[in-house]
Amino acid sequence: MKENWNDIDQFAKNSIKGAGSKIIDSFDEVLKIQTKSNVNDLVTNMDKEIEKYFVEKIKDRYPSHRVLGEEGFGDQVEDTDGTVWIIDPIDGTMNFVHQQRNFAISIGIFHEGIGILGYIYDVVADELYHAYRGHGAYLNEERLSQLKEVPVEEAILSINATWLIPNKKIDHEQFASLVKRVRGTRSYGSAAIELAYIAAGRLDGYLTMRLSPWDFAGGKVLIEEVGGTITDLKGNNLSLVENSPVFAGNPAVHSEVLKKYLK
Ligand code: 2AM
Ligand code: CA
Ligand code: CA
Ligand code: CA
């Protein structure tokens, strides 16, 4: 089916801004907070309400599109046929609950497995990052430049301290030697914001051990549109229907770190 991408883009932007207003309005109300996989894995009534809002709007306007959302109100999506919206209604729920900032709405829209449109909306900062494959990436109205080469010594790397202490997933000493070499490290607690920052050149690398497709779908479209790289830790393409470790970055930083610290 032939899609009208400009129409979908406008609809997505309007829907995202509407969701942002709902979230801001919710700051005056008491949140219902529950836990998911462990005591620190939080979900609120707003995560669920916002996802339902998107699913209802999308199904009404584009009945043939499928939706893969973190909170499970969309479809059971196991392949990438047709047009699929991959949605994280609130990325950085812990920040949303504790800080009322540093969280984002993340949406990637894929057609036959190819990322066409990507959005990350930092609601409180009112920063909407958006990309349309082949037509550029933007932060609000401002076009983002192609990423320039950055040496690892001048890179700002986003990494959670969890991965620098002994853990089951990776060799933390290898990561510690990388942390010593870069200019600085940061950790924002929202995968979507970290990926948007890579696209904007505010960060040069982001390494994390466990993300789901809704965490990186929007970021993948944005990053690829500015010439950045996003893969798993071995340099392989990310699956849109499976969880994966993620390594995103400036292309020069990505290739050097992959070669020296990950392979
Ligand atoms: P979330 O807030 O949408 O759950 C925080 O470390 C980052 O990792 C957030 O982007 C968070 O997304 C994501 N994340 C993925 N899986 C997680 C989990 N099991 N527990 C907490 N955060 C998780
Ligand atoms: Ca979550
Ligand atoms: Ca998330
Ligand atoms: Ca979420």
Tell me, yes or no, whether 112 and 214 share the same domain. Answer: no
Which structural domain range is residue 242 located in? 152-262
**CA of 43 relative to ligand 1 center, distance in Å:** 10
Using a CB cutoff of 5 Å, list residues around ligand 4, an ion.
70, 88, 90-91
Q: How many domains does the chain have?
A: 2
Residues in contact with ligand 1 (CB, 6 Å cut-off)? 37, 41, 70, 88, 91-93, 189-191, 210-212, 215
Tell me, yes or no, whether 97 and 182 share the same domain. Answer: no
Q: Which ligand is nearest to the CA of 191?
A: 1
In order along its 263 residues, the chain shows pLDDT tens digits of: 799 999 999 999 999 999 999 999 999 999 999 999 999 999 999 999 999 999 999 999 999 999 999 999 999 999 999 999 999 999 999 999 999 999 999 999 999 999 999 999 999 999 999 999 999 999 999 999 999 999 999 999 999 999 999 998 889 999 999 999 999 999 999 999 999 999 999 999 999 999 999 999 999 999 999 999 999 999 999 999 999 999 999 999 999 999 999 97
For residues 111 and 117, give the distance between their C-alpha atoms in angstroms, rounded to a whole number: 9
**CA of 137 relative to ligand 2 center, distance in Å:** 26
**CA of 134 relative to ligand 3 center, distance in Å:** 26
Tell me, yes or no, whether 219 and 135 share the same domain. Answer: no
Tell me, yes or no, whether 131 and 168 share the same domain. Answer: no
What CATH number is associated with residue 97?
3.30.540.10
Q: Whose CA is nearest to atom 2 of ligand 1?
A: 92
Q: Whose CA is nearest to atom 3 of ligand 1?
A: 91
Kindly give the number of the ligand 1 atom that is closest to the alpha carbon of 90: 3
DSSP string, 187-209: --S-HHHHHHHHHTTS-SEEEEE
Tell me, yes or no, whether 139 and 158 share the same domain. Answer: no
**CA of 92 relative to ligand 1 center, distance in Å:** 6
**CA of 44 relative to ligand 4 center, distance in Å:** 10
What CATH number is associated with residue 207?
3.40.190.80
Question: Which of 92, 121, 143 delimits the end of a domain?
Answer: 143
Of 38, 215, 242, 246, best ligand 1 pocket probe by most atoms within 8 Å of the beta carbon = 215
Kindly give the number of the ligand 1 atom that is closest to the alpha carbon of 91: 3
Tell me, yes or no, whether 122 and 166 share the same domain. Answer: no
pTM of the predicted structure, to 2 decimals: 0.98
Question: Which of 106, 122, 143 delimits the end of a domain?
Answer: 143
Task: Write down the ipTM of this complex.
Answer: 0.97
Tell me, yes or no, whether 248 and 229 share the same domain. Answer: yes
Tell me, yes or no, whether 121 and 11 share the same domain. Answer: yes
Question: Which of 98, 121, 143 delimits the end of a domain?
Answer: 143
Tell me, yes or no, whether 132 and 58 share the same domain. Answer: yes
Tell me, yes or no, whether 10 and 133 share the same domain. Answer: yes
Tell me, yes or no, whether 13 and 119 share the same domain. Answer: yes
**CA of 24 relative to ligand 2 center, distance in Å:** 19
Tell me, yes or no, whether 139 and 156 share the same domain. Answer: no
Contact between residue 175 and residue 158 where contact means Cβ atoms under 8 Å apart = no
